[in-house]
Structure 1
Amino acid sequence: MNFLYSLLVTLPAYFQPASSAVDTPYKSVHVQYYNADSSIRFGGTLTLPAVKKNCPAVVLLSGTGKQDRDGTMAGHKMFLTIADNLTRNGIAVLRVDDRGVGETTGQYETATTADFAKDALTSLHWLMKQKGINSKKVGLIGHSEGGAAAYIAAAESHDVAYIITLAGLATPGLQAVKRQNELIVNTAPISDQKKYRFNSINAFMFDTVYTYAQSPDLEAHMRSAFRIWQTQDSIYMATHPQDPNDKGRFFFPMESYVMNATGPWYRYHIRFDPAPFLEKVRVPFLAINGDKDIMVDAATSFDYIRKHTSGNQHVKTITAPGLNHLFQHCNTCTNSEVYELKEEFAPEVLDMMVKWLKSN
């Protein structure tokens, strides 16, 4: 796929004061703008420091799944919190609705990470042209998959001044999905037998999808692989009967997985390799991951980043203790716990970003 980006054609933007339940010491406006061929209209909110001119700026890039401009997940508004903090510290922030969400048009379901990187550059080039913004100091902050979109964009355009990844996807797609699902399964409150069976079917199906991701017959290969695994699992269960005290039946969501895996996003994702993009990044690069994150493993991600950015002397990685994928201080640190936690975003990570941005 061609990742080259065509420069944004400047089109009229629409501004409207953003409503707010509380007074803020900065200006907040609703904005709308278009991509180069006008096929997508983007809707977002731009927050501008009240008294500072020629200020640095960032675009926030969301992770996997359709999200609004506030980065609303599990009742938490990650991007609203980040934007508020950065703008109070003199940094302009543009946060944008994803494709097909809110005021942004387009179809999210047919897009890939490469498309999201193009969207990021559309937003960055629009932001560079705004009054009060230092056009040489506009960068990207990406969460999870948004981190990958950030370094893809930085590899393709010299206009990206710096990037920050927050739990950014930074390992090959197959490795990432395997590690993510192993962590989810192994921390789940289920029996060791169920953990074995889930890890077995996951690995078997992931390898199959990886092998046939570019085939028009992917679904047929998946169903064949599932039947093979069922036979192997039956043999395993015959020699390892389920404990009668082990409540709940084992279930693999084959139909929903087929629907997901045969779509363009998953086909791209499972074959994705960050290395060619990371190797092209020459701008300052800060990567922050929580050490309790079970969606993106900090250690393996940082190993891959360091390996493939060895020619860039401006790369810094930080492992933040006690934080989950949404950068909340967690207890059990499972995915279900995020709904119970009250914290929006760890204040120490906000401070890290402000300090780093001001030094770059």
Structure 2
Amino acid sequence: MMKKITLLFACITSFVKLAMAQSFSNTEVSFKSPDNKITYGGTLSVPTGNKKYPALIFISGTGKQDRDGLMAGHKVFLEIATELAKNGYAVLRLDDRGVGKTSGTYEAATTADFANDALLAVQYLKTNKQVNTKKIGFIGHSEGGAIMSIAAPQSKDVRYLISLSGLAMNGYDALMSQNQKIVAESQLPDYDKARSNDINTLMFNVALKYADSTNMEEKLNETYKAWKAKDDIYFKTLNVQFDHFRFPVYSFVNYAIGPWYRYFIKYDAQKTMSKIKVPVLAINGDKDNYVIGEPNLQNWKNYIAAGGNKNVETHLLKNVNHLLMPCEKCTQAETQTSKNSVSPEVLKIIITWLNKTIK
């Protein structure tokens, strides 16, 4: 008898949850930049009904991504957007520059350019009759945290921010901490870990110093050449037969002299985030190797509070990676093969916060 009651209760619960979930529609949308040089393509998800809905704009992180946020085989943005739409929120997801239906050249753009893209998306949403124009916000992943931090203070139409594994550190500090974390968790012998950290630090310092200089490439190559001469002498003292360590100097230098890197390494998070005056929700996983959870969450609170805004809620989730998925070993290889979706806890936190703060 007890089993039947339990089964009946489970069925009723499932039915209630299904009934509470709103239906929604997906519409292909596009709009142009003011100079008509870029066409933006994306998907707008809107709950079914004759009312105006709060709306969120997804902002992706570093690297060319489509509107679904396809990373390591997982459609992260699509998963979250679907849950938001089911709970009464309109969601706009865009292809990055040079991806899908969006034109332009991704490699020629900076974090500031992506912030301008986000602001154009706000203007587009304001033309939609089903959007509550007083309740438009950003939801940024990874570098998207920095992008929305730049964009939000520039528009009174942006009323709230949600950071998902979002960056809240200076560009230089972020690059340093990310690389140190990757090196620390690598399988390299200790002497190669030390060599990695040594050359990384030297190159990042030079890149920062010469970020606005025309001779940045020359200075980086000079730095590597000088380090390599000293490192060759050092390696001989180790009495190791074969040297397997390789620093990708050519690819690093080519990357560093590009517009994105030059802008990003100078990014001042504290100065930028102190201008944020709207409610903020920030969620990070403690197994994130790209945007380290605890220090970034502290910055979301402290940097924004420095400007007088203390309306910031943060969450550090255990055993959750950069893609906000539950993980065990939490390695990049595991992420590629994982069948997990975005953590249900992440979705619950987002919906709960939106319902109490925005809706």
| TM-score of the alignment, normalized to the shorter chain, above 0.5 | yes
1:188 touches 1:334 (CA, 8 Å); kept in 2? no
Structure 2 CA distance for aligned equivalents of residues 101 and 269 of structure 1:
21
Q: CA separation in 1, counterparts of 2:238 and 2:302? A: 42
Q: Which amino acid aligns with 2:336?
A: Y
Distance across 2 between alignment mates of 1:155 and 1:274: 13
Distance 1:52 1:317, change over 3 A: farther
1:307 matched to 2:307: no
Aligned to 2:144: 146
- State the structure with more CA Rg: 2
Give the SS at the match of 1:272: coil
1:204 to 195, 202, 205: 202
CA distance in 2 between partners of 1:297 and 1:191 (Å): 23
In the alignment, structure 1 residue 163 sits paired with structure 2 residue 161: yes
CA distance in 1, matches of 2:203, 2:332: 22
Is the contact between residue 54 and residue 131 of structure 2 (CA under 8 Å) also seen in structure 1? yes
> 2:57 aligns to what?
59
**Sequence identity (%):** 45
User: Using a 3 Å threshold, how does the CA distance of structure 1 residues 128 and 241 change in structure 2: closer, same or farther?
Assistant: farther
Q: 1:57 & 1:85 partners in 2: Cα distance? A: 13
RMSD (Å) for aligned C-alpha atoms: 1.4
2:318 to 305, 317, 321: 321
Match of 1:101 among 88, 99, 102: 99
TM-score, normalization by structure 1: 0.90
Of 270, 284, 288, 1:275 maps to 270
Question: Offset at 1:301?
Answer: 1.1
Structure-1 separation of matches of 2:49 and 2:82: 15
- Report whether the alignment pairs 1:83 with 2:76: no
Cα 1:99–1:139, aligned 2, differ >3 Å: closer, same or farther?
Answer: same
The residue type paired with residue 139 of structure 2 is I
Tell me, yes or no, if the aligned pair for 1:61 and 1:120 is still in contact at 8 Å.
yes
Q: Which amino acid aligns with 1:278?
A: M
- What is the number of equivalent residue pairs in this alignment? 334
- Decide whether the 8 Å contact of 1:172 with 1:274 is kept in 2: yes
Aligned match of 1:193 = 191
* 1:342 matched residue in structure 2: 339
Gaps of 5+ in 1: 1-23
Determine the C-alpha separation between the residues in 2 that align with 1:184 and 1:97.
Answer: 28
- In 1, Cα distance between the equivalents of 2:51 and 2:310? 30
Q: Which amino acid is 1:280 matched to?
A: K
Q: Is the 8 A contact 2:61 2:142 kept in 1?
A: yes
Task: Name the CA shift for 1:254/1:52 in 2 (closer, same or farther; >3 Å).
Answer: farther
Residue number in structure 1 paired with 2:234: 236
Instruction: Please give the secondary structure, in 2, of the residue aligned with 1:309.
Output: helix
Task: Give the alignment of 1:171-182 within 5 angstroms.
Answer: 171-182=169-180
Match of 1:10 in 2: none
**How far apart, CA to CA, are the structure 1 residues paired with 2:172 and 2:207?**
9
Tell me the residue number matched to 2:252.
257
| Partner SS for 2:120 | helix
Provide the residue aligned with 2:348 in structure 1: 351
Cα distance in 2, alignment partners of residues 283 and 43 from structure 1: 27
Structure 2 portions without partners, runs of 5+? 1-21
Deviation at 1:317, TM superposition (A): 1.3
Q: What amino acid does structure 2 have at the position aligned with 1:303?
A: Q
**Residue 44 of structure 1: aligned partner:** 42
- Going from structure 1 to structure 2, the CA distance change for 1:81 and 1:96 (only over 3 Å counts) comes to same
Distance, in Å, in 2 between the alignment partners of 1:48 and 1:296 is 31
Name the one with the larger helix percent. Answer: 2
Aligned partner letter, 2:174:
A
